[in-house]
């Protein structure tokens, strides 16, 4: 570099750096003040009445997938959207034995990683019962929550339909009871273009506080962990259990008995 074109002195350079730092800090502090809830504690313990969850006995599961069908029939989910799935895993060196079947709904984690990443707070954990829900009218369909869920419990509605319930058929006029919103499926209208997920069939519990069981082997138990006498609480006291990917600190509300 030519000596005559000496561009800036070190003092000027440092002064510039200081300005950059100061503006950066100012931007950060300003934005932090704007977002009042940045450091606020979200879940207020006193509001919490129920802690709904499931205890699933994998030994009793026969892999009939009645739960998958019941869910499909109840929530009227389109192809590619499965609020629960049954995965099976053949045991090593025991190809002729019953594989391990595992039904996997949304785990409604106590520390859900999916809700914090939503840019518009469209998905959140309900304060009263801890169910993780999606506000279909607010969700913009960015699918960030799907990447953040470690359990693949979230599904994007691409707007596809099963051939038998293609748009103009009578079947398509049957609303989905999800969130008691009773939406009729239409092109380009929510929940098409939204992220969807298991709701623990909360449209059934709000009234009756019970859960329709279709499980043939009585492997799925649903209940309130806050009630010490509920079936699920008793099962957890008496049996050995695991939860998936506990190392991520998500604290799932679905337990697998082993």
Binding window for another protein (CB under 8 A); candidates: 24-32, 166-174, 200-208, 216-224? 24-32
- CA–CA separation, 186 and 184 (whole Å): 6
The verdict on 83 binding another protein (CB under 8 A) reads no
Nearer to another protein, 7 or 170 (CB): 7
Q: At residue 233, what are phi and psi to the nearest 5 degrees? A: -65, -40
Cβ closer to another protein: 55 or 81? 81
Residue in 82, 222, 255, 256 binding another protein, rule: CB under 8 A: 82
# residues near another protein by CB under 8 A: 65
CB of 157 to another protein, least distance (A): 8
Near another protein by CB under 8 A: residue from 50, 72, 104, 185: 104
Cα separation, 209 vs 191, whole angstroms: 26
Q: Does 213 contact another protein by CB under 8 A? A: no
Task: Detail the DSSP E strand segments found in the chain.
Answer: 52-57, 85-89, 100-104, 123-125, 132-134, 154-156, 195-197, 220-224, 241-242, 254-257
**Positions 133 through 192 that interact with another protein (CB under 8 A):** 138-144, 146-152, 154-160, 187-188, 190, 192
Q: Which is nearer to another protein, 81 or 232 (CB)?
A: 81
Q: Is 5 in the site for another protein (CB under 8 A)?
A: yes
Task: Tell me the two tokens of residue 159.
Answer: 């707007």
Q: Is 64 in the site for another protein (CB under 8 A)?
A: no
Among 14, 21, 184, 206, binds another protein (CB under 8 A): 21
- By the rule CB under 8 A, 73 interacts with another protein: no
Q: Which residues contact 130 (CB under 8 A, 6 or more apart)?
A: 48, 50, 51, 52, 108, 110, 253
Exposure string for 135-154, b = 16+ CB within 10 A, e = fewer: ebeebeeeeebbebbbbebb
CA 106 centroid distance within chain: 5
Query: CA angle, 129 as apex, 80 and 136 as ends, to 5°?
Result: 40
Residue 205 CA, distance from chain mean position: 18
Contact residues for another protein (CB under 8 A)? 5, 7-8, 13, 16, 19-21, 23-24, 27, 31-32, 34-35, 37-38, 79-82, 85-89, 104, 113, 116-122, 138-144, 146-152, 154-160, 187-188, 190, 192-195, 244, 248
């Amino acid at each position: 570099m030519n000596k005559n074109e000496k561009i800036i002195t070190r003092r000027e350079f440092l002064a510039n750096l200081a300005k950059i730092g100061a503006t950066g800090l100012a931007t950060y502090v300003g934005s932090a003040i704007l977002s009042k809830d940045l450091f606020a504690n979200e879940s207020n313990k006193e509001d919490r009445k129920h802690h709904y969850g499931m205890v699933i006995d994998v030994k009793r599961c026969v892999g009939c997938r009645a739960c998958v069908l019941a869910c499909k029939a109840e929530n009227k989910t389109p192809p590619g959207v499965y609020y629960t799935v049954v995965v099976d895993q053949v045991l090593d060196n025991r190809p002729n034995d019953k594989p391990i079947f595992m039904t996997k709904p949304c785990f409604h984690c106590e520390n859900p990683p999916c809700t914090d990443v939503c840019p518009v707070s469209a998905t959140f954990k309900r304060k009263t019962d801890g169910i993780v829900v999606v506000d279909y009218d607010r969700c913009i369909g960015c699918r960030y929550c799907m990447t953040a869920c470690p359990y693949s419990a979230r599904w994007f509605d691409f707007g596809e339909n099963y051939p038998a319930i293609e748009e103009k058929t009578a079947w398509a006029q049957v609303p989905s009871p999800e969130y008691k919103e009773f939406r009729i499926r239409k092109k380009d209208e929510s929940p098409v273009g939204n992220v969807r997920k298991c709701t623990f069939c909360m449209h059934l519990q709000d009234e009756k506080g019970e859960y329709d069981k279709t499980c043939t082997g009585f492997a799925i138990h649903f209940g309130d962990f806050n009630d010490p006498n509920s079936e699920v609480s008793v099962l957890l006291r008496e049996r050995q259990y695991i939860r998936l990917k506990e190392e991520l600190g998500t604290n799932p509300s679905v337990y697998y008995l082993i």
